[in-house]
Chain A
């Protein structure tokens, strides 16, 4: 921190929070240095997340499990977050890095909005997130990969958009749905068979939770809904009314239906 004085001065950068903390030497270090991590060093990995478009918005779903090798590290972690009022972001890959990346991303969007008086465009947010992933490349090369998933709407047009990324920082807009994480293949395969354009909110939530169940059925690391322990996926929707977390009761019902549908 800059003591009790305000960071007031010409050399400070424009509206970017990351540039600001970098100029003050407070930015997080996205590199381990030249040494390769010791073998057997497995920080927890966050697994399957997915997002799909429906009529009037997007829905984003993430399971709750983090694994370290064959070990279940956490059963309740949160991988899906509101990025700002009109977008949501989820992480897969090294959980510790991903959570920090999201915190920085959220702060970045809010900082920009407050300084400039307007929100970034949806594309602007996605591009910025891609740059953040890119800046982590040194760690990705050492095996600590974070791949986010991003979705949101442009409040003016009201249409939802889904963006997927790769470890290099590539950014791709998806037409229907996007997935990331260890169970993403299974989830994608499931969604491909059930997805139809023009589905409504309930269908979209049902499909996305069912896709998670399908992923958990094949992928060891993905944790499906656990009715006995009361562990349910995090589900967020983004519409012109803003980003909203779907409440637990509704998710629980959808989860029960999904467990009936998917074998």
Chain B
């Protein structure tokens, strides 16, 4: 019988984190902003069918970057989690906080126990009646959960993009302004033309299911500007 090599926990975590970060760094970024009309999600995405943002529940949306099969399986699991909870209890009992916490637990477990960590970062957004009730949660590959205010970003250029958004962000904007601001931040951070946009809005008002994708016309403005 051969004993496995001893690896110090520090080294193990370091190696795994490095591996995950490398994977995520290749992914394109996604930004989220609280705006007057709701919560805006904007991603760089050349594909028109493989989306990075998704509806999870009435007021909750998901965005993921990194390896497609990994964040897609997290998206599906998130929808399952939300639908089961809403069916067993009530629609109002499904909250972004519990969902983000479940993502955090799951990613944390996989990071430590899985054969390899997930190369993903995910964002859980919830729209409230007022901007003060909006929620933005970011979960990283190792399960760390961040509670963000006003704006945030995930993906390869997350920190740069988030810093850049912070420079221009002065209180809540309207949707059109926020789109322009975010698109400019993307261009500056990436230092190149953006290869297709994917936008979604969790509307503050309207029927119970608030998630909708932004139309080509709505995105057209920023594509041309």
Contacts and interface: CB of A to CB of B under 8 A. Distances in A.
Interface stretch (A4-12, A37-45, A144-152, A252-260): A4-12
Interface residues on B, range: 20 to 34
Given A20-B80, A111-B79, A114-B79, A6 B74 contact: yes
A56 to B, nearest CB: 21
B106 A107 contact: no
A107 B83 contact: yes
A104 B51 CA distance: 27
Interface bracket on A: 20 to 34
A117 B51 contact: yes
B36 interface: no
B87 A8 contact: no
B87 A7 contact: no
A111 B83 contact: yes
Nearest to A14: B76
Given A12-B80, A115-B79, A117-B51, A5 B88 contact: no
A127 to B, nearest CB: 21
Nearest to A10: B73
A103 B84 CA distance: 12
B45 interface: no
Q: Which 3 A-B pairs have the closest CB atoms?
A: A6-B77, A8-B77, A6-B106
30 contacts: A1-B88, A2-B81, A2-B84, A4-B101, A4-B102, A4-B105, A5-B105, A5-B106, A5-B109, A6-B74, A6-B80, A6-B81, A6-B102, A6-B105, A7-B81, A8-B73, A8-B74, A20-B80, A20-B83, A20-B84, A26-B84, A26-B88, A107-B83, A107-B86, A107-B87, A110-B83, A114-B54, A114-B55, A114-B79, A114-B83
